[in-house]
Structure 1
Amino acid sequence: MATTQAVAPAAVNTHLKSIPEHVVQDDSQSCIPFSVATAAFSGTNQVTDDIVAKSGFAGYFENVHPVQIELCISLIAESFRKLRCDLQRTKPGQKLRRIKATGHCQKQLDFCTGMLQDAGLIRSEGDELIRTDKPAPAKASKEILDQLLEEHPTVASLNNLIYLAGSQLGNIWSGRVDSVRAIIGDTNGRQYLEDVYGPAHPSKAFHMLIEDYVARLLKEVHPTETQKLQVLELGAGTGSTAKWLAPLLAASSLPVQYTFTDIGSGFVSQAARKFQEYTFMEYRAQDIEQPPPTELVGTQDVVIAVNAVHATRDIVQSLRNTRQYLKPGGVALIMEMQERLCCSDFIFGLFEGWWLFEDGREHAIAEDVFWKEAFLKAGFTHVDWTSGNLKDSGVQKVFMAINGGSAAS
């Protein structure tokens, strides 16, 4: 369990917004009225498709995802060949050599085997895998990658990450290379991952949705020096969200405190250096799977978690922990994957956290109905989420939930 310790003291932005006389200041209540929170989210929801299209993500399912599937299948076939299971040389009807992986990577290997089955290249008969008569992939993975990079440059980091992970599969499955080090330990891999979680697709469009909502809130709330707007981020990682959130908060000229937290003390220390110009930020090591420390219970107006809650054992318990940070009336903004893209299991299935779930889920990615029930079980009294008519708008969703009770309950 990570320790909870402040890394740098917070300082206050001294610019004030005029406060209407009717606003009652009460430190125990959130400075975000229910009507403001819900109206702002309704406004964001109405422009979901517009924001997704403006970001350049519209058309992903039609134009990009099918080629990414082709890339994954080519990489899997090449990895099988390296492990003496050559689809090119195996005759139709012949049994394939069964490949095994070490530890949690067996589940990712099972997913990859399923991709070959879905592509019609192999079929299962009991415990055996049988080669079909469908020709093996004709294009090499590097050729497919080059095509994607040329035709879809806005998704370059994700495509490069698929290729980086796929080119290491044989070594990872056999245990010769640690899966985390193969990606995060690689300088390019770290950058690709940071891009995918932040300024690049598929996250870019959905970060823009959160940004739109927070901007709407900032126009309507009236914090004071004695009741600053308190914002806390859980699972903040490499700072992908903080890169746009910190400038947005700074530009508002409101009295605000933004607490950056992550279970990894290395991420926290790195963030303290990266965002040192924002004097309203402080940094703490904190585990989303553990309740908040006493001094943070019931202190926050907004808690944000981006693609973090799914990677916990129990979503309800993690959301309950999240709610305990909030003041009554406080808002949780949770962004999560909703579509099972081929790249999700292909890349993130190599990380142990992808398979931690012990809460009845069949997969790390859960549908919006599951999330709604989880929020309500965790004690939130109002739940909403982004939606749109574009299929691309449903790749990830932003959930907004309001804490209607006391933080400690």
Structure 2
Amino acid sequence: MTNVVDLLPSPQDIIMNDIDFTGEQDLIESIESLNKLAAYYAQLALQGLQLDSIQRQQQSLLAASRYLASHTKEKATFHSTQLYLTQLINRFPRLKPIFTVLAACGQRLKYVLTGEQDGLDILLGNEQIEQALQQVQSLMSDHQTHLIFHALDLCLRKKHSNSLVGRKLRILWLGGDSYSGIISILHLLLNLCHETGLLIDLHYTDSNSSLIREAEQAFKVHLTNQNRLQITYYDEVDLSNGEHNDNLGVESYDIVFAANKLQGSHNLLYSLVTINRLLVSNGLLILLELTHAPLYFDFIFGLVDQWWSPVDGHRALLSVEQWTTTIRETGGFETVQSAPSSFGNALIVAQKSISCKILQTLEERQRQAWLLFVDDNTPNIGDVLPPLLPSSNITLINPFGSNPEHIRFKIEQMMTIYKQVYIVFGCPLSQELVNDDSEVVFTKQEKHLCGTLVRMLQTIQQAEPRNFPFVFVVTRNAQPGT
């Protein structure tokens, strides 16, 4: 039976799906105008500024201010700047959040350069500015996000609409301090569930606990009277710290999505390795990340130290090529495709490998183990199955050659050593395996195998491990005469 992850489009299919970002035309058309407005603020900030008053850590912001100040030959005054700001708001009304944040940052730029004010306090210390900043982040990615999920929706409907009934798609959404654009995605997913019979588990994360609560209340309105789309919320997820991700199961997700979330990660490679660990084989990592930005962004995000590289003082943004290289360095993604947009966000799609040779080298597979119950009558299971398994930690037990205490000890030992254990009970109770007149022998064999299975389950139950083993019973003809 095909897993739902195998029905998802490939990275190339998503990239080649003609995802058109021109719906964000005002963002593109406004770039030069916003750069000019930023130049005005730069001129005002630099007027009468004493070089010896500038903080050492603000040298990158100072260099950006000087460069932007020369971007226009016009001499700015406070009045001309305010007049130009009003004109731009009237011309691009949808972009008012950008103007609000840029004006707040530009008017305080001088004080950030001298260390009298902290850039982070300007962005997050005022409720109105903080809300506008969240709206800016939505403007940057909401439209593109909708197009991406629309492409996934179309692919599943066109190619597999009759194969989705009762299947479950598991999505991990790494929130980026704004949830407004997700509501349209919820409606899209709800329609997909309703019309195809698909089930969806959406796990939504955000490090801001108050935003998580707001998102839960906002989403609840749209999820009433249905049970096909379920959302779980997490506010203590840190991809760069494995200890904070215990609630997210290893190899539990078919899709991991993030928009402008990973760029500022303390350890990007480790974060990507963590994501790879959370994905099932063949699962998709879908990222929207800023790979180049307009000049005026330096006066918004440049007020925060993380915007600048500690190595050379330039922007710390990764290029598409650097993203692709870093994703490949994880060792677990087999395919990586990318597509830039005119505004600055690049779409990056990576697919986790399905190669057993590659998967066996990954940490999550090395922390897994398989316990196979096979007897002399079913050597084919013990011979054929191990090479197909995605882990090399494999133990074979013959239920007729092992006493109950040994089996109990082995199960407890494996649950202690490994983070996840898989148990395959592959001993068929087929009457063909004994003589036709050996009913007593068959009954004894049946009781022994059933007793072994029950004791195995009791051992697991009594141990109460953090991660319960997955148990697969592949016995054929479990009752006499069937």
TM-score over 0.5 (shorter chain): yes
What aligned pairs does 1:293-312 form with structure 2 within 5 A after superposition?
Answer: 293=246, 295-312=248-265
Q: 1:140 to 1:111 in 2, by over 3 A?
A: same
Within a 5 Å distance, the mapping from 1:41-80 to structure 2 comes to: 41-44=14-17, 46=18, 48=19, 51-53=20-22, 55=23, 57-58=24-25, 60-61=27-28, 63-80=29-46
Which structure has the higher relative contact order (CA within 8 Å, separation 6+)?
1
Partner Cα separation in structure 2 for residue 334 and residue 383 of structure 1:
11
State how far apart, in whole Å, the 1-side matches of 2:337 and 2:247 are.
29
Give the superposed CA RMSD.
3.0
Structure 2 residue 210 is the aligned partner of structure 1 residue 266: yes
Cross-structure match for 2:121: 181
Distance 1:347 1:398 in 2: 23
Does structure 2 conserve the Cα–Cα contact (< 8 Å) formed by 1:211 and 1:245? yes
Aligned residues between the structures: 340
Instruction: Give yes or no for the alignment of 1:32 onto 2:5.
Output: yes
* Superposed displacement of residue 149, structure 1: 1.1
- Distance change >3 Å, CA 158–CA 60, structure 1 → 2: same
Given the alignment of the two structures, is residue 207 of structure 1 paired with residue 151 of structure 2, yes or no?
no
Stretch moving more, 303-312 or 231-240: 231-240
Distance 1:338 1:315, change over 3 A: same
Taking the aligned partners of 2:135 and 2:45, their CA distance within structure 1 comes to 26
Question: Map of 1:155-170 to 2, 5 A cutoff?
Answer: 155-170=95-110
CA contact (8 A) 1:41 1:213 kept: yes
Q: Name the SS for the 1:231 alignment partner.
A: strand
Separation of aligned partners in 2, 1:80 and 1:207: 39
Which residue of the partner structure matches residue 367 of structure 1? 319
In the TM superposition, residue 147 of structure 1 has moved relative to its aligned partner by: 1.7
Q: CA deviation at 1:204?
A: 4.0
Equivalent position of 2:89 in the other structure:
149
Q: Give the match for residue 285 of structure 2.
A: 332
- For residues 102 and 288 of structure 1, do their structure 2 counterparts lie closer, same or farther at Cα, with a shift above 3 Å needed? farther
Superposition pairs of residues 352-363 of structure 1, within 5 angstroms? 352-355=305-308, 363=315
Residue among 268, 277, 280 paired with 2:230: 280
Any conservation in 2 of the 1:101–1:109 contact (CA below 8 Å)? no
Distance across 1 between alignment mates of 2:121 and 2:51: 28
Structure 1: tracts of 5 or more residues without a match: 1-22, 26-30, 86-95, 121-133
Distance 1:32 1:39 in 2: 15
Aligned partners of 1:329 and 1:402 also within 8 Å: yes
Q: 1:280 aligns to what SS in structure 2?
A: strand
> 2 CA distance for matches of 1:214 and 1:189?
34
Greater per-residue helix proportion = 2
Q: Distance in 1 between matches of 2:66 and 2:30?
A: 22
- Report the TM-score when normalising by structure 2: 0.63
Deviations 1:185-227 (A, max 9, x none): 32321232222211x3x434422332333323542565565x5
Q: Which runs of 4+ in 1 moved over 6 A?
A: none
Q: Deviations over 1:337-362 (max 9, x none)?
A: 1223113222112224434778x995
Distance change >3 Å, CA 251–CA 400, structure 1 → 2: same
CA deviation string 1:113-168 (max 9, x = no partner): 3323x538xxxxxxxxxxxxx66336732122112112222322222221121122
- What is residue 55 of structure 2 aligned with on the other side? 101
Partners of 2:185 and 2:143 lie apart in 1 by 14
Task: Name the CA shift for 1:59/1:247 in 2 (closer, same or farther; >3 Å).
Answer: closer
Within-5 A mapping of 1:195-274: 195-198=135-138, 200=139, 202-219=140-157, 220=159, 222=163, 228-253=168-193, 254-274=198-218
Partner of 2:344: 395
Which residue type is aligned with residue 233 of structure 2? Answer: Y
Measure, in 1, the Cα distance between the counterparts of 2:296 and 2:55: 19
Q: Which has the larger radius of gyration?
A: 2
In structure 2, runs of 5+ residues without a counterpart are 224-228, 366-482
Q: CA deviation at 1:272?
A: 2.5
8 Å contact 1:311–1:355 — kept in the other structure?
Answer: no
CA distance in 1, matches of 2:305, 2:66: 19
1:34–1:329 contact (8 Å) kept in structure 2? no
Q: Residue in 1 aligned with 2:397?
A: none
Mapped pair 1:386 → 2:352: no
The structure-2 alpha-carbon separation of the partners of 1:244 and 1:351, relative to structure 1 and needing over 3 Å to count, comes to: farther
- Cα distance in 2, alignment partners of residues 361 and 403 from structure 1: 34
The TM-score with structure 1 as length reference comes to 0.73
CA distance in 1 between partners of 2:119 and 2:187 (Å): 34
Match of 2:345, as an amino acid?
Answer: Q
Specify the code of the residue in structure 2 equivalent to 1:265.
Answer: S
